A and B are shown apart, each in its own frame.
Chain A
């Protein structure tokens, strides 16, 4: 095989003769060209991929941003609902609908069974009309549980102001009868303070003690 210059004539041949025409360089050229082509092509493709992934990322970004906005909107809407339900006015209204009335002067049931303060029957009148208490009279102790999910913990002091009023069987906590009641775990009595409808588990369900007592 002769050099390629040999097949050219005239000016081209003269130019070709200026180029080095060793066999070794001919052999090394092909891989070099391949390498350059590969590098260029690879770079181009990488750039393309990079660009498209960046663009895909940008689309994803705006999509996620929209999702964030939607979720924020939803969170704010739900928070608004929670706020509406846990506002003191709304709580009072619902408590009154359950038949609760504002309690009188504070009285405290101490762990040793003594009562400080002067307990009295709540004298405020319940709302007229069918009350929730009438709808479910026997499950009074479970009332706090059924209310708990809808009442925020911070709102509990509001409920301390209401005490039970039921048409029958409700007696005020009388110091002389208190010791005969079973020992009250302080946790229970403080939750009873939070929603003071919860009658203590007494010997008979008809005589719940404790309107506005707390575990002090």
Chain B
């Protein structure tokens, strides 16, 4: 009987052993490993964004989230009646926060976790940690003297979690281009979002056996190293960007304008050297910023360019050989076309202008008359003009691939309304963004070949290898001869006393430019209200290197004429860029074209 019982017991044991060792073995192994092994994510370092000289515009640094366990501040746990208040008083100056706010967070009932401050520097955590050590020593002494009822350290419940912080060392410099990073550490706008995939890299993971929180060195471990993000080098020149940003911010404030943009472009490579917006924002502190400022208005605003777009009409007229710069144009004070009576920006007696003079004095009527020669019928002329506008890049994306970029509005010529077909030649009834407008002038400066603008110069992978960005697309828009003629005509705008752009003169240099003062469509009401002042041009006119475009939306204080408020900005930024890039004047004398003619000659 006994042996039978023993056999049965043994049998039960054997069966159980088999079950544990053979049948469910894998499940138990997995459970054991779960307890023994721990996995830690190795955060990939986000790539830097630098300017063209390699100066960091956006970089990532280590940071700490300061957290706390409110339960450890209760009187039961800490043996201190007002632990949250005491801790808050200690932490408030270090974290630069209100003591009341912190105390409220620390005394949250039934909570075990609260974040006191996000993304603090290691120095801040070091201060807190030193303070913690001192208080803990004191509490230890009290405990050995008085026993378990002694008050505990009031900072015992304060902890940190490693995190990383995106830093923009130059504050609001180029903030519109760079964008910002959201709470999850991903790009929330601008280049940060455009190239987020490259910048963020690949998180790694390490799995190792641990005992009491410490890694067991003899046990095997598995590690997938993190791949750091790629560094992005922009075409931006930090110093020119700064000069542009300061100039436009000053003027926007002075004119009480809604906003303004300045774009500086290298005419030979299409590289954008500066793209400034005003008002801007500081990506280091988004809490102080309202959402309307946070985009890159230079690419995201579509506006009617006004007279700066007359240069495209002139390009079409010259390229189609409908006229030459010396062609006589008699400009009356009013011109009846379609359903409207057109006028120039000022009332004038009948002007006797050359085609060159039409551009220099920015005559709307003269431009309508000149573009009328593009075809035998008005629809034909419209089609020809439209084809040139398209070739100059109007109505299509600029090629930057920037998030939220507008491509502007350019209707098909068959959809042009009766008045639109006469307003489009002088830049009303179509809309562009500032980059497209700047690109038009770069095209003329570059001998008639349009180079797609670029914002990214190249990338530098974790292996340290620099990969230049793909070469931009080039398309010929007008012949070199037409481009040269246009450059000379644009010089008249600035250098002729009758021109509208005299404020943009730079002593010693030959400067080409064009003013623009457009009626602005109010984005809220959709009706014409206020003005868009602009100035576009390049220098040196006979050997162009740099294009500068400036536009100010809705200036309400002082002058609203492009030549008056944007001309000086053009001059300031252009002078700075010429100095920065060390572009000397060519020293050749200009050969001015006549602006007016004497009737009857």
Contact = CB atoms under 8 A, between A and B. Distances in A.
Interface string B162-187: 00000101110100000000000000
B509 interface: yes
A83 B51 CA distance: 14
Given A69-B62, A155-B55, 14 more contacts: A72-B62, A73-B121, A73-B122, A73-B126, A80-B167, A80-B169, A92-B242, A105-B509, A106-B508, A106-B575, A155-B239, A157-B240, A157-B579, A161-B579
A107 interface: yes
Interface of B: 53-56, 61-62, 121-123, 126, 167, 169-171, 173, 214-215, 217-218, 237-240, 242-243, 506-509, 575-576, 578-580, 582-585, 587
Task: State the 7 A-B residue pairs at the shortest beta-carbon distance, nearest first.
Answer: A83-B169, A117-B508, A88-B242, A73-B122, A118-B507, A118-B508, A157-B580
A154 B54 contact: yes
Contact of B578 (A54, A72, A77, A106): A106
Interface of A: 51, 54-55, 57-58, 69, 72-73, 76-77, 80, 83-84, 87-89, 92, 103-108, 116-118, 120, 152, 154-155, 157-158, 160-161, 193, 212, 214, 216
A117 B171 contact: no
Residue among B173, B237, B508, B576 with max Cβ neighbours from chain A (10 Å): B508
Contact of A157 (B126, B239, B507): B239
Given A76-B61, A160-B579, A57 B171 contact: no
A107 B218 CA distance: 71
B507 A87 contact: no
B123 A105 contact: no
Nearest to A103: B579
B587 A116 contact: yes
A117 B122 CA distance: 51
A84 B169 contact: yes
B226 to A, nearest CB: 15
A105 B170 contact: no
Given A103-B579, A154-B55, A77 B507 contact: no
Contact of A77 (B123, B217, B587): B123
Contacts of B54: 154
Nearest to B61: A76
Contacts of A72: 62
Contacts of A107: 508
Given A58-B217, A69-B62, A104 B575 contact: yes
A54 B56 CA distance: 41
Given A77-B121, A104-B575, A105-B506, A117 B217 contact: no
Given A54-B218, A77-B123, A83-B56, A120 B507 contact: yes
A116 B585 contact: yes
Contacts of B507: 104-105, 117-118, 120
A145 B218 CA distance: 57
A104 B469 CA distance: 36
A80 B122 CA distance: 12
12 contacts: A58-B215, A73-B62, A76-B122, A77-B122, A105-B508, A105-B575, A106-B575, A108-B584, A108-B585, A116-B585, A116-B587, A157-B237
Contacts of A51: 218
Contacts of B218: 51, 54
Contacts of B214: 58
A54 B217 contact: yes
A117 B574 CA distance: 14
A87 B170 contact: yes
A118 B173 CA distance: 31
A152 B218 CA distance: 48
Given A88-B242, A89-B242, A160 B580 contact: yes
Residue among B243, B580, B584 with max Cβ neighbours from chain A (10 Å): B584
Given A77-B123, A158-B242, A87 B580 contact: no
B584 A117 contact: yes
A161 B509 CA distance: 17
A118 B579 CA distance: 13
Given A51-B218, A116-B587, A161-B243, A88 B173 contact: yes
Contacts of A77: 121-123
A214 B53 contact: no
Given A83-B169, A216-B582, A88 B217 contact: no
A105 B507 CA distance: 6
Given A73-B62, A105-B507, A57 B217 contact: yes
B236 to A, nearest CB: 12
Nearest to B122: A73
A216 B584 contact: yes
Contact of B123 (A54, A73, A89, A216): A73
A51 B218 CA distance: 8
A152 B50 CA distance: 15
A151 B387 CA distance: 51
Contacts of A69: 62, 122
A152 B121 CA distance: 24
Contacts of A158: 239, 242
Nearest to A87: B170
Contacts of A76: 61-62, 121-122
A25 B55 CA distance: 83
Residue among A84, A88, A116, A155 with max Cβ neighbours from chain B (10 Å): A88
Contacts of B587: 116
A119 to B, nearest CB: 8
Contacts of B239: 88, 155, 157-158, 161
A87 B62 contact: no
Given A80-B169, A83-B169, A117 B576 contact: no
B238 A88 contact: yes
Nearest to A156: B239
A212 B583 CA distance: 12
Given A88-B239, A89-B171, A154 B53 contact: yes
Contacts of B584: 106, 108, 116-117, 216
A117 B509 contact: yes
Nearest to B165: A76
Contacts of A214: 579, 582
